[in-house]
Amino acid sequence: MDLWNWLEYAAWGLSVAFGLHMAIDWLKTDSSYSEDVLTSSREGELEAMAEEHKVKS
Amino acid sequence: MTDVDITSKTMDGMGPHGTKVGLLRVLGPAHVWALGVGIVLVGEYMGWNFAVGKGGAYAALIACWFAGILYTCVAMIDSEVTSTVASAGGQYTQAKHIIGPLMAFNVGLYLVFAYTMLEAANAITAGYLFSVVASMAGYQAPLDQRPFIILVIMFLAWLNYRGVLATLTFNLVITAFAFIAILVLFLATSGIAGGGIMQHAALFEGHELPYGWIGILAAMHFGLWYYLGIEGTTQAAEEVRSPARALPFGTLAGIMTLLIAATLTWYVSSGVLPWEYLGDGVNGSVAPLFDTARLSGSTALVWLLGFGTLFATLASANGCINDASRAWFAMGRDKYLPGWFGAVHPKYRTPYRSIVFLVPIALIFALGAPLDQVITFSILSGLLGYTFMPLNIILFRRKWPLHSIKRGYEHPFHPVPAITLLTLCGVTFFAVFLGYGTQLVAMIGFYIVVSLWFHFWRYRFVNRGAQFTMPWPKPLGY
């Protein structure tokens, strides 16, 4: 079999490996942490503004 | 204000307002540069030359510089607004704060479609490049490109999943390589270092403007390819250590890099390749810089530009995954989409669900749609986004004048850049209409339909109070 046939198989294999790694880690993460923690992210703030500005009511 | 100090060294990345797991602030200006230039530079390696086919070499140069003005306006406006709205989602978040929910929803979709389509187009191109290498290496049978297309998407998605620092450091290395390759090609072929092979006068004689001034207008459509994607730097806003400094610095350094790269690319390619060949990106010169290297007779240049082409393609796909996932994540976080997408990985600190969710969509387009249609969909989404920007900055300056909010960067000559950008967008819409009128109308129809869906259904789920967490004063006049 030609080198390029091997490379084709290697590409298929690596693609499956990367996909499986993400899928397994995803399931493991979702089962290890509560949804409240995972989705607790809120918008960031700029430190310069956080230091210098106050919210005006 | 905020009960958590996000600049704290002991709680790095912990955001305000009860964030337990947030995106990690680890990036610097070089990563911002790599994100913006990385997405775009593939347009120098291939694609821009369709502009030559539309109007000749001079038309492509004029389009290059007019599109350069358009994107310089984009970079300046983005730098000012994003240095203030330092949050993932980029222009989506800007629209949410400055204009309103419906605009934000549309801009968010423009971003996700533009980047996901571009990612798919890059994967198709990478597959094609592998087949060219196989053919040059003497492989007789046609190479099955599918495993290589899938590998590019899966590998880069995996890299993005594992962390933003490694992802954009990888982008920095391969983007710098691709940019230096263009500089080396220019030095080696222009006569500055070694013998020059440029034949501009001979190649242009009698073909200065083969289709007249309308050719220049038509060339504007593909003039965008020199710079399409530089606005993606804004998506890093929530992950840079110092948004006020890093975002304007990285974005403006990026557009300067691209103006140099675009002009040099035009110069070396049009000085070696006849315009009829150069302008046919399908049956003629698919990768003009690589073709120029081949005509130089230098094996080292051929290898250098060959790797430059591949690296530029990978950098673009990589940056697109980063940006599309941040936009999707930000929309999920605000409940514009299901809140499930707003999750952050507790270990890698990336929007992992958004990254994984967009993988099959990119694969479907990469494996099942023709390249030109995929790219056109991407360009049109980008163009709609650029049209939003001048309106955005005008409203931003009106509602929050310079004295009311401290900016990391204040762009000069306002409102000239906004008016220039709006005018050039109008010209480009007309140019796109000349070549892809049906797609343009279909796309606008699509966005009208999804806007109706958002207005009459989805908006009821939006978390209206919790999404405005910036410590801004009330807008002027409210």
Q: What is the pLDDT of residue B221?
A: 84
B272 vs B296: CA distance, rounded Å: 9
Nearest residue on chain B to A23, alpha-carbon basis: B356
Residue (of B208, B252, B241) closest to B79 by Cα position: B252
Nearest residue on chain B to A1, alpha-carbon basis: B139
B205-229 per-position pLDDT tens digit: 888 888 888 899 989 888 888 998 9
Q: What is the pLDDT of residue B338?
A: 95
Q: What is the pLDDT of residue B467?
A: 66
Q: What is the pLDDT of residue B447?
A: 94
B61 vs B216: CA distance, rounded Å: 9
For residue A26, give the 3-state DSSP assignment. helix
B342 and A34 Cβ atoms separated by less than 8 Å: no
How many CB contacts within 8 angstroms connect chain A with chain B? 160
Tens digit of pLDDT at every position of chain B (478 positions): 334 444 444 443 444 556 778 899 999 999 999 999 999 999 999 889 999 999 999 999 999 999 999 999 999 999 999 888 888 999 999 999 999 999 999 999 999 999 999 999 999 999 999 998 898 888 888 899 999 999 999 999 999 999 999 999 999 999 999 999 999 999 999 988 877 899 998 888 888 888 888 899 989 888 888 998 999 999 999 999 988 899 999 999 999 999 999 999 999 999 999 999 999 888 889 899 999 999 999 999 999 999 999 999 999 999 999 999 999 999 999 999 999 999 999 999 999 999 999 999 999 999 988 777 777 788 888 899 999 999 999 999 999 999 898 888 999 999 999 999 999 899 888 888 888 889 889 999 999 999 999 999 999 999 777 666 777 888 888 7
Kindly determine whether residue A40 and residue B340, on different chains, have CB atoms separated by under 8 Å.
no
B164 vs B324: CA distance, rounded Å: 13
B238 vs A48: CA distance, rounded Å: 14
The proportion of chain A whose per-residue pLDDT surpasses 70, expressed as a percent, equals 74
Give yes or no for A31 touching B (CB within 8 A).
Answer: no
Q: What is the pLDDT of residue B77?
A: 95
Nearest to B147 among A12, A41, A49 (CB): A12
**What distances in angstroms separate CA B354 from CA A29, B119, B122, B156, B357, one per listed residue?**
14, 15, 20, 14, 5
**What distances in angstroms separate CA B175 from CA B8, B261, B318, B319, B366, one per listed residue?**
32, 12, 11, 11, 22
**What distances in angstroms separate CA B306 from CA A2, A5, B185, B287, one per listed residue?**
23, 22, 12, 9
Superfamily classification of domain B30-406+413-461:
Amino acid/polyamine transporter I (1.20.1740.10)
Give yes or no for A6 touching B (CB within 8 A).
Answer: no
Q: What is the pLDDT of residue B17?
A: 55
What is the widest separation between alpha-carbon atoms in chain A? 74
Residue (of B107, B15, B164) closest to B470 by Cα position: B15
B154 and A19 Cβ atoms separated by less than 8 Å: yes
B159 and B343 Cβ atoms separated by less than 8 Å: no
- How many other CB atoms are there within 10 angstroms of residue B165's CB atom? 16
Give yes or no for A4 touching B (CB within 8 A).
Answer: yes
Nearest to B144 among A8, A23, A26 (CB): A8
B109-129 per-position pLDDT tens digit: 999 999 999 999 999 999 999
Q: What is the pLDDT of residue B309?
A: 96
3-state secondary structure A29-44: HHHHCCHHHHCCCCCC
Nearest residue on chain B to A32, alpha-carbon basis: B346
Q: What is the pLDDT of residue B93?
A: 92
B456 and B448 Cβ atoms separated by less than 8 Å: no
Task: Please list every residue in chain B whose beta carbon sits closer than 8 Å to the beta carbon of residue A39.
Answer: 333, 339-340, 342-344
Residues 165-224 of B with CB under 8 A from A: none
Nearest residue on chain B to A47, alpha-carbon basis: B7
Whether residue A54 is predicted with pLDDT greater than 80 in this model: the reply is: no
